[in-house]
């Protein structure tokens, strides 16, 4: 009877984690907001190109080979297109479902290691932390990679667990996860879990134990991982020769085939910050570490409580905590010595969620057994709850204050008119955050009020309650906050996406499309129009390598080529940022340009105006 009651409670806990994560991530599938320019539009278009061409081996952008990324995310999006049709919301399904699955996996891992309550809390932490939500707003495979690493780590521990009835099966689950990870993000899918496992075996003195390796089945396991990952790598190498190139020098205009670019340029040289093209930036090391207080918010207030946990590998809980420490520590140190984006540390979120869930559950257990005894665990967790209440209260006050300040500020047109521009920051994934100005919040009144009420709920919950009641209401706060943030993204849609431009273009007579800059800058236009544009740019950025391949289409225009085409009798359309107007005039004269639409700081222009179109200012 007690087991049935426990199973029922666990079922309810899982349903709560499922409901909260679904409320957050399934609603984010809905469009608008549209797919954004940059990676979002690119990763939405590549799978459609795969379906159109029938080539599922070599990804292509605008007809150019794109060899730097693993293909599994493209395959998954292509499958959703086959099922649901070509829609932006269909492109979001794999990432959204992966985020939900990751929350459930973290909960199940935590329950197995620490018990029902800790698993429940770990699942809530994973589902509602800011970092996971932020870095799944674009269609990148990192949440899927994080899932495979977490599953691999769980399989590894279960294979070694003396009480496990099926250690071989769990060992193979671990290896299969490594193979799938290779198809998501290449070698880091191997490096992170294998390094964490190595450190764990070293610290637990099992590294040279024959019994340990007998349970892990390394040879058959490695064969399974290769069986999953090798076929695509072999096909990609064969279809994109040469097979070998003995050089570590990366520069413009050189093409050495798939293997060199994929492994040397994109793995080794990127780690050493020697990769070409240099189309990325790196977060300063100190900020990379400190940002985790934001990425794990609101649960980062409990990070100090982790220090009071036992990491001695004398039981399942201790072994899991030690593995989580090795897992997190190696990953953070690895990126301390490498080029780093804000989201690169996502694979350690489940490890930190497990530790946080364990600490939160330990405090609840102490409180239940000795409510009058302010235990060591409660000395960290309860103050963290009150601190979170204070932070939420400050955020609520700030939101109300900003909303009051901009109450009379006019909000004409779209939000781009009130934003600043910081192009040097756009090589970071959150670089557009620096574009916000105080007046821009006049366009965000509803999201501000919704966020304010969300923080108000969190403030009341964490200032007056504790433990599960406070934690669940904190999740309610985060669900409301994410809904507010989604509404804000809808307001930003004309600025971050070019969908209004694309829709205006579709309403025009047929003509050839030219976009200013390289493909990424306006990538949502090809997605929504299904047109392959010419690009007015001599900086080909991350298309440079594929553009140097034999047989690559000539889709880049010089200024003189643009001028020749634009002054010809054929109809052309040109999309550019407004600051490019002066340069356009120097090319062919503004009298040759007519404006079709101005949206989000971008212009849709044509060289063959209709009677109702205007001359560009």
pLDDT digits (tens, 9 = 90+) for 12-54: 999 999 999 999 999 999 999 999 998 999 999 999 999 999 9
Inter-CA distances, 596 with 6, 236, 434, 503, Å? 64, 42, 29, 11
Mean pLDDT of the chain, nearest integer: 91
350, 354, 356, 361 alpha-carbon torsion, rounded to 10°: 150
Examine residue 493 and state whether it is found in any structural domain, yes or no: no
Q: Give me the pLDDT at residue 581, please.
A: 64
Question: How many CB atoms are closer than 10 A to CB 493?
Answer: 23
Examine residue 301 and state whether it is found in any structural domain, yes or no: yes
Phi, psi of 115, rounded to the nearest 5 degrees: 120, 170
Whether 396 and 507 map to the same domain: the answer is: no
**Which percentage of the chain shows pLDDT scores above 70?**
93
Provide the residue count of the chain: 617
Residue 42: both structure tokens together: 């690119």
Burial class (CB in 10 A: 0-12, 13-18, 19+), 558: exposed
Whether 457 and 601 map to the same domain: the answer is: no
**What's the average model confidence in pLDDT over 280-300?**
88
Judged against a pLDDT cut of 70, whether residue 272 lies above it is answered with yes
Query: Domain end: 483, 508, 523, which one?
Result: 483
CA 410 from chain centre, in angstroms, equals 34
Q: Are 280 and 265 in contact (CB under 8 A)?
A: no
Q: Give me the pLDDT at residue 457, please.
A: 97
Question: How many CB atoms are closer than 10 A to CB 511?
Answer: 16
Judged against a pLDDT cut of 80, whether residue 552 lies above it is answered with yes
Examine residue 41 and state whether it is found in any structural domain, yes or no: no
Judged against a pLDDT cut of 80, whether residue 66 lies above it is answered with yes
Whether 418 and 532 map to the same domain: the answer is: no
Whether 219 and 355 map to the same domain: the answer is: yes
Judged against a pLDDT cut of 70, whether residue 465 lies above it is answered with yes
Judged against a pLDDT cut of 60, whether residue 613 lies above it is answered with no
Burial class (CB in 10 A: 0-12, 13-18, 19+), 166: exposed
Whether 105 and 143 map to the same domain: the answer is: yes
Q: Among 193-197, 242-246, 437-441, 479-483, where is mean pLDDT lowest? A: 242-246
pLDDT digits (tens, 9 = 90+) for 104-113: 999 999 999 9
Q: Give me the pLDDT at residue 584, please.
A: 75
**Cα 231–Cα 544–Cα 340 angle in degrees, nearest 5:** 75
Query: Domain end: 340, 369, 398, which one?
Result: 369
**What's the average model confidence in pLDDT over 358-372?**
78
Inter-CA distances, 356 with 22, 151, 381, 474, 583, Å? 22, 18, 10, 15, 54
Q: 339 versus 76: which is more confidently predicted?
A: 76
Q: Give me the pLDDT at residue 2, please.
A: 61
Query: Domain end: 434, 456, 483, which one?
Result: 483
Whether 408 and 445 map to the same domain: the answer is: yes
State the pLDDT confidence band at 617, using cuts at 50, 70 and 90: very low
Whether 364 and 386 map to the same domain: the answer is: no
Q: Give me the pLDDT at residue 88, please.
A: 96
**Which percentage of the chain shows pLDDT scores above 90?**
72
Question: How many CB atoms are closer than 10 A to CB 48?
Answer: 18
Residue closest to 467 by CA, chosen among 368, 394, 373, 395? 368
Domain count, the chain: 3
Strands (DSSP E) along 151-201, which ranges?
none
State the pLDDT confidence band at 528, using cuts at 50, 70 and 90: very high
**What's the pTM value of the predicted model, to 2 decimals?**
0.94
Residues 6+ apart with CB under 8 A from 114: 122, 317, 320, 354, 357, 358, 361
Residue closest to 25 by CA, chosen among 486, 499, 347, 477? 486
**What's the average model confidence in pLDDT over 520-524?**
91
Examine residue 221 and state whether it is found in any structural domain, yes or no: yes
Domain interval for residue 458: 376-483
Judged against a pLDDT cut of 50, whether residue 616 lies above it is answered with no
Judged against a pLDDT cut of 90, whether residue 161 lies above it is answered with yes
Examine residue 231 and state whether it is found in any structural domain, yes or no: yes
Question: How many CB atoms are closer than 10 A to CB 284?
Answer: 10
Whether 273 and 137 map to the same domain: the answer is: yes
Examine residue 58 and state whether it is found in any structural domain, yes or no: no
Residues 6+ apart with CB under 8 A from 13: 107, 111, 116, 119, 120, 123
Whether 461 and 542 map to the same domain: the answer is: no
Examine residue 490 and state whether it is found in any structural domain, yes or no: no
Examine residue 176 and state whether it is found in any structural domain, yes or no: yes
pLDDT digits (tens, 9 = 90+) for 586-600: 788 878 888 899 999
Q: Are strands 534-536 and 512-516 parallel, antiparallel or unpaired?
A: parallel
Q: Give me the pLDDT at residue 370, please.
A: 59
Question: How many CB atoms are closer than 10 A to CB 413?
Answer: 13
Whether 358 and 459 map to the same domain: the answer is: no
DSSP code of 512? E
Cis peptide before 32 (omega within 30 of 0): yes
Q: How many CA atoms lie within 13 A of 97 on its CB side?
A: 10
Judged against a pLDDT cut of 50, whether residue 126 lies above it is answered with yes
Judged against a pLDDT cut of 90, whether residue 4 lies above it is answered with no
Q: Can you tell me whether residue 604 is helix, strand or coil? A: strand
Whether 104 and 129 map to the same domain: the answer is: yes
CA 548 – CA 102 distance, rounded (Å)? 39
């Amino acid at each position: 009877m007690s087991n049935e009651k426990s199973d029922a409670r666990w079922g309810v806990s899982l349903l709560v984690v499922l409901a909260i994560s679904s409320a957050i991530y399934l609603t984010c599938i809905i469009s608008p907001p549209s797919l954004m320019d940059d990676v979002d539009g690119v990763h939405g278009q590549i799978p459609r190109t795969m379906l159109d061409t029938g080539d599922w081996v070599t990804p292509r952008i605008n007809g150019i080979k794109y060899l730097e990324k693993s293909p599994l995310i493209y395959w998954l999006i292509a499958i959703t297109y086959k099922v649901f049709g070509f829609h932006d919301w269909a492109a979001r399904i794999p990432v959204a479902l992966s985020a939900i699955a990751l929350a459930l996996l973290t909960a199940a891992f935590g329950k197995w290691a620490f018990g029902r309550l800790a698993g429940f809390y770990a699942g809530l932490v994973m589902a509602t932390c800011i970092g996971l939500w932020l870095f799944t707003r674009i269609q990148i495979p990192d949440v899927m990679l994080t899932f495979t690493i977490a599953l691999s780590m769980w399989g590894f521990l279960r294979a070694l667990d003396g009480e496990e009835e099926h250690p071989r099966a769990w060992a193979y689950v671990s290896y299969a996860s490594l193979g799938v990870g290779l198809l998501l993000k290449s070698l880091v899918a191997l490096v992170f879990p294998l390094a964490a496992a190595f450190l764990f075996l070293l610290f637990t003195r099992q590294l040279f134990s024959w019994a340990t390796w007998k349970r892990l089945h390394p040879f058959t396991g490695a064969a399974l991982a290769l069986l999953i990952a090798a076929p695509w790598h072999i096909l990609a190498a064969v279809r994109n020769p040469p097979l070998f190139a003995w050089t570590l020098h990366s520069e413009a205009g050189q093409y050495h085939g798939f293997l060199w670019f994929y492994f040397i340029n994109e793995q080794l040289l990127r780690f050493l910050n020697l990769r070409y093209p240099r189309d990325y930036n790196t977060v300063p090391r100190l900020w990379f570490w400190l940002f985790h207080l934001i990425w794990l918010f609101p649960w980062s207030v409990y990070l100090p409580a982790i220090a009071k946990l036992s990491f001695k590998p004398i039981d399942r809980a201790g072994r899991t905590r030690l593995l989580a420490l090795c897992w997190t520590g190696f990953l953070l140190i690895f990126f301390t010595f490498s080029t780093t984006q804000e989201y690169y540390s996502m694979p350690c979120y489940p490890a930190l969620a497990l530790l946080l869930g364990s600490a939160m559950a330990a405090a609840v257990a102490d409180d239940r057994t000795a409510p009058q005894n302010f235990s060591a665990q409660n000395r960290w967790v309860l103050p963290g709850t009150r601190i979170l209440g204070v932070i939420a209260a400050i955020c609520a006050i700030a939101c109300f204050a900003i909303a009051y300040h901009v109450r009379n500020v006019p909000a004409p047109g779209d939000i781009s008119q009130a934003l600043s521009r910081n192009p040097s920051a756009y090589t970071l994934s959150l670089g557009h955050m620096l574009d916000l100005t105080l007046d821009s919040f006049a366009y965000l009144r509803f999201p501000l009020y919704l966020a304010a009420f969300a923080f108000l709920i969190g403030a009341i919950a964490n200032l007056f309650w504790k433990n599960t009641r406070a934690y669940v209401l904190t999740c309610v706060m985060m669900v409301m906050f994410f809904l507010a943030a989604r509404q804000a993204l809808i307001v930003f849609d004309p600025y971050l996406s070019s969908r209004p431009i694309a829709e205006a273009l579709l309403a025009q007579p047929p003509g050839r499309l030219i976009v200013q800059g390289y493909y990424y800058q306006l990538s949502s236009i090809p997605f929504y129009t299904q047109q392959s544009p010419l690009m007015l740019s001599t900086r080909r950025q991350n298309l440079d390598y594929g553009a140097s391949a034999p047989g690559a289409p000539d889709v880049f225009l010089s200024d003189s080529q643009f001028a020749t085409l634009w002054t010809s009798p054929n109809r052309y359309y040109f999309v550019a940022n407004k600051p490019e107007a002066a340069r356009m005039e120097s090319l062919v004269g503004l009298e040759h340009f007519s404006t079709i639409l101005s949206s989000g700081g971008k212009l849709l222009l044509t060289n063959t105006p209709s009677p109702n179109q205007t001359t560009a200012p």
